Amino acid sequence: MVGAAVVEDPEPLRIFTEQRGRLHAVAYRVLGRFTDAEDVVQEAWLRWSRVAVADVADPEAYLVRVTTRLAIDRLRSAQARRESYVGPWLPEPMLTSPDVAENVTLGETVSSAMLLLLEALSPLERAVFVLREAFDYSYAEIGEFVGRSEPSVRQTARRAREHVERQRVRYDTDQATRALVTERFVAACSGGDLASLMDVLAPDVVLVSDGGGLAPAPRKAISGLDMVARALLTFAGRMPEDPATDVVSFNGGPGIVVSSAGVPVAAVSLHLVDGVVSAVHLVSNPEKLVGLRDFRAR
């Protein structure tokens, strides 16, 4: 008799597939790196695949707990590596859907400005802040996820929230305004129009460029209207072969992807205050552009 083929139980995969988007969203906000978030989710799947699913009362809670703890461990390691990073460090851009942009809370928690602000928190503080502010888990639930008591989690959340409130800038969230200014910014840069570019920039605008030593980029932030405008036009004048510039949705709002032969070579995020650009985040480190690889499919 020929042995019957072994059919694997499809239930673990079905459950994990349902939760995958949430798990990646948690890991990305904790880490600020698209590739690390993908690695964490993959490790969560490997652990989940070895579990007796029937014995898990709450699969979402189990998977979020595993993902959170893996992300905290990875962030601790990453923070040590960042001490030797060349030039300013910015989060990895990640494509987001329009519904994220329309949800002000979700959009803000995934913006490069917020992710950069969260860098000052400890890994535990950052995870607690993300789980509470972005996903609205209760303090008791978060305590289970991170292995702390509810009172301890409340204190950690308070410290994290106070730090964020002290440091945060209230950037414009109106998507129509952001889209309009982004289009004007692209047109001015593409046309080399210094006057038009300066019209959309705030007097105290700051440009932060992240090349990671792998792409040309200023090693320090540039401040001031004239200096930033001229630096941006210099960058625009160094377009790659077969260049293209697209406005797409990433990190919770409209952003600019510069590509060569369909491959992203730079990503620009604009942060507005009172309708003008207060901060420009420019990522050209090729290792950080993986999260934009499918930008043309959006």
DSSP string, 144-184: HHHT--HHHHHHHHHHHHHHHHHH-------HHHHHHHHHH
Predicted local confidence at residue 103, as pLDDT? 65
pTM, entire model: 0.91
| 225 has pLDDT over 50 | yes
Q: What domains lie within the chain, and their CATH numbers?
A: 11-84+112-167 (1.20.140), 175-297 (3.10.450.50)
Predicted local confidence at residue 296, as pLDDT? 81
Cα–Cα dist 62/275, whole Å: 43
| 81 has pLDDT over 90 | no
Look up residue 244 and give its two tokens: 């293209």
| 80 has pLDDT over 70 | yes
Query: What's the CA angle centered on 58, arms 13 and 106, to 5 degrees?
Result: 85
Q: Tens of pLDDT along 236-256?
A: 999 888 899 999 999 999 999
What's the rounded mean pLDDT across residues 21-46? 96
Cα–Cα dist 58/54, whole Å: 10
What is the SS3 assignment for 263? strand
Q: Tens of pLDDT along 156-165?
A: 999 999 999 9
Which residues are bridge partners to 210 per DSSP?
283
Predicted local confidence at residue 102, as pLDDT? 58
What is the SS3 assignment for 231? helix
Predicted local confidence at residue 125, as pLDDT? 98
Length in residues, the chain:
298
Q: In this predicted structure, which of 12-26, 192-206, 238-252, 279-293 has the lowest mean pLDDT?
A: 238-252
Query: Are 67 and 27 in contact, with CB atoms under 8 Å apart?
Result: yes
| 269 has pLDDT over 80 | yes
> For all residues of the chain together, what is the average pLDDT?
92
Strand segments (E) across the chain:
201-210, 222-223, 243-250, 253-260, 263-273, 276-283
Q: Tens of pLDDT along 94-126?
A: 999 876 655 666 678 899 999 999 999 999 999
| Backbone dihedral angles phi then psi of residue 40, each to the nearest 5 degrees | -65, -45
Q: Sorting pLDDT into bands at 50, 70 and 90, what band is 83?
A: confident
What's the rounded mean pLDDT across residues 46-58? 94
What's the rounded mean pLDDT across residues 20-36? 96
Look up residue 39 and give its two tokens: 């690695």
Say which residues have a Cβ less than 8 Å from residue 88's Cβ, sequence separation at least 6.
208, 209, 210, 219, 220, 221
Cα–Cα dist 32/36, whole Å: 8
Predicted local confidence at residue 220, as pLDDT? 96
